[in-house]
Structure 1
Amino acid sequence: SSAPEVLKPVLKPQEITRPEYEPDPGAIFQRDTLVSHYEPKKTEIQEIEPLFTEMVVISGGMYFRGSNEGSRDEMPRHAVKLSSFALDIHPVTNEQFVRFLLAMGGEKDGNNNDIIRLRDSRIKRSCGKLVIESGYAKHPVVGVTWYGAVAYAKWIGKRLPTEAEWEVAATSGRDHFLYPTGNEIEKIHANFFSSDTTPVSSYAPNTLGLYDMGGNVYEWCQDWYAYNYYDASLVEPDNPQGPPQGVYRVLRGGCWKSLKDDLRCAHRHRNNPGAVNGTYGFRCAADVV
């Protein structure tokens, strides 16, 4: 019998869109009176190779998501049909994200949205250089907006996971898993109800080999959030992409500050796409062939 076909992540061409101009509202006051026109200082753009994260392939099929016991926005529990996809085994780290900031030449995306707010992160500007706080290179990047997560994913030829993909990956595709670790989760299994992030992959992975699916950082997903979206997803269960528009984007997985309940695989969190928080990070997904 022939060996089963092995599915591999397929990465898109790497794409980077930098802002058209240097957004500096104070620039008008900095003109030299002897110079007839103002030229914003050019940032040195560096061609930088990303540090890639290993991925796990999750086979397509029918899976369950949601919960009939949880919050109203987790109901009803229902089946979704997903195509095969790949997911990073851990959240994006500071040492990975700082390379992206260097490649971008700043903290804005092509539409002038903030990518990250450095003061909410462990990456700092010191004498014009980007520096990661000592000891935090392998911690998940935090203070990243949804826009920043999307832009980073494009830069490495990946994408953000959909909310459905994220939840199925967290449960390892097991119908009955309440937490990524099974039906119980304790402080030895994940970083929650604590005072700070931990380096990625500090705790044992879930059954699929994915680290930090519960706790450490909340992770941005691609979807807009609607509290009653599962009513629609119930009727159209194929590769649900979330509502067509919204105010908030989805965040998943709980974080280092969370109580245990937030680490449930079905738990949904959301915020404005431009929101930053010392508990918000992300990981990337990809299609497979």
Structure 2
Amino acid sequence: MTACCAPGQPGAGTAAAAAAAAAAAAAGGGAAAGGGAAGAGPRTAERAEGDPAARWGFTPPDRDPAQVRRGMVAIPAGTFRMGGDDPDAFPDDGEGPVREVTVSAYHIDPRAVTNAQFAAFVKATGYVTEAERFGWSFVFHQFVRGPARQRVLNAGVPQAPWWLAVQEAQWRHPAGPGSGITDIQNHPVVHVSWQDATAYAAWAGKRLPTEAEWERAARGGLDGARFPWGDEFTPRRQHRCNTWQGEFPHRDTGADGHVGTAPVGAYRPNAFGLYNTSGNVWEWCADWFSPDWHAADRPETRHDPVGPPEGVGRVMRGGSYLCHESYCNRYRVAARTMSGPDSATGHLGFRCAT
């Protein structure tokens, strides 16, 4: 894993623990934590085990499936070409080989979960995120201002010094103390771990999408395309997603209209009606990550795949506002990476499926 994408987060709030986990993340992985997830439907990759109240601190309410699916995008069953062979891909990411994958019908949210939606979940359940429990999270250096500057736990992540571990950074205060979400209610919630995302999904009567479901929906029917809208990054010189414009990591010019996160409905949707499946924030998927599990031609990798049975990190897809062609370059629709299930950063969110 390239450290620009998602540094790991340990289950402790000390500077030493932060530095140790950051170094491990930069070297190629996130902090591992146990856990499954919750969800409706047949995808066993994130089905909850045990007592939900003990797991999350609340019992998910019973919801009418028809009401849950209202506003979601119906994706019909079908076969598509998953993965890529792009020369810009990182070898350890395992984007290839390109293979035909069949998925059953499902529904997926057209947009990432917003700050307002996550706030409603927290108000209803009293849920406390892992970043809140740890007492810190990772913030991109340019957003750490004012009081937050006094709350930095370390000088940066080795190999990626633009990430700062900031005390009290969490979803309500995405840039640390002094920041807030009052003016960005319709932006994607960030500083949420995979565990946090599955808790929200369970409360909403949903689940996280599998990686195959995510890519099928993100492609919008464009098999083989580099981006959800085609092969050209800025067709007719029009920006179609929120990524880094300028010299990374020093200055984002905002030429695409945004610096940092953008509203979840920014830019044109793809042909299936999904927004921001390229750039803005990384999105958690249900699957454990493996660079080569899917390369084997066997039924479990070609029909409703749910990923390997275990791993050290969960799959992340879509890229973020920090992706740039000179470094990360993971805003292509086949691009993938991972982070530990308890990891949280300022450019990582999620959307739900059912």
Question: Pairwise CA RMSD of aligned residues?
Answer: 3.4
CA contact (8 A) 1:124 1:133 kept: yes
Q: SS at the partner of 1:170?
A: helix
Q: Does 1:181 align with 2:229?
A: yes
Distance 1:20 1:242 in 2: 23
Give the gaps of 5 or more residues in structure 2.
1-38, 42-47, 138-166, 245-251, 253-258
CA contact (8 A) 1:120 1:276 kept: no
Question: How many equivalent residue pairs?
Answer: 244
1:173: Cα distance to partner? 2.5
Distance 1:108 1:92 in 2: 15
Q: Does 1:88 align with 2:109?
A: yes
Q: What is aligned with 1:208?
A: 272
In structure 2, the CA distance between the partners of 1:91 and 1:233, relative to structure 1 (3 Å rule), is farther
Q: What is aligned with 1:231?
A: 295
Q: In percent, how many aligned pairs have the same letter?
A: 36
Q: TM-score, normalised by structure 2?
A: 0.62
1:176: Cα distance to partner? 2.5
Q: What is aligned with 2:98?
A: 77
Distance 1:53 1:283 in 2: 15
Q: Does 1:123 align with 2:187?
A: no
CA contact (8 A) 1:19 1:108 kept: no
The letter for the 2-side match of 1:62 is: T
The letter for the 2-side match of 1:204 is: R
Q: What is aligned with 2:260?
A: 196
What are the equivalent positions in structure 2 for 1:52-71 lying under 5 Å apart? 54-69=71-86, 70-71=89-90
In structure 2, the CA distance between the partners of 1:146 and 1:113, relative to structure 1 (3 Å rule), is farther
Q: Does 1:138 align with 2:206?
A: no
Give the gaps of 5 or more residues in structure 1.
1-9, 23-44, 126-130
1:61: Cα distance to partner? 1.2
Distance 2:308 2:133 in 1: 22
Q: Does 1:240 align with 2:308?
A: no
What's the CA shift string for 1:52-74, capped at 9, x where partnerless? Answer: 87211111111111112334311
Structure 1 stretches of 4+ moved >6 Å: 49-53
Q: Does 1:158 align with 2:211?
A: no
1:101: Cα distance to partner? 1.4
The letter for the 1-side match of 2:239 is: I
Distance 1:54 1:275 in 2: 29
Distance 1:106 1:267 in 2: 32
1:103: Cα distance to partner? 2.2
In structure 2, the CA distance between the partners of 1:169 and 1:52, relative to structure 1 (3 Å rule), is closer
In structure 2, the CA distance between the partners of 1:60 and 1:148, relative to structure 1 (3 Å rule), is same
Aligned residue among 271, 282, 288 for 2:350? 282
Q: What is aligned with 1:107?
A: 128
In structure 2, the CA distance between the partners of 1:136 and 1:122, relative to structure 1 (3 Å rule), is farther
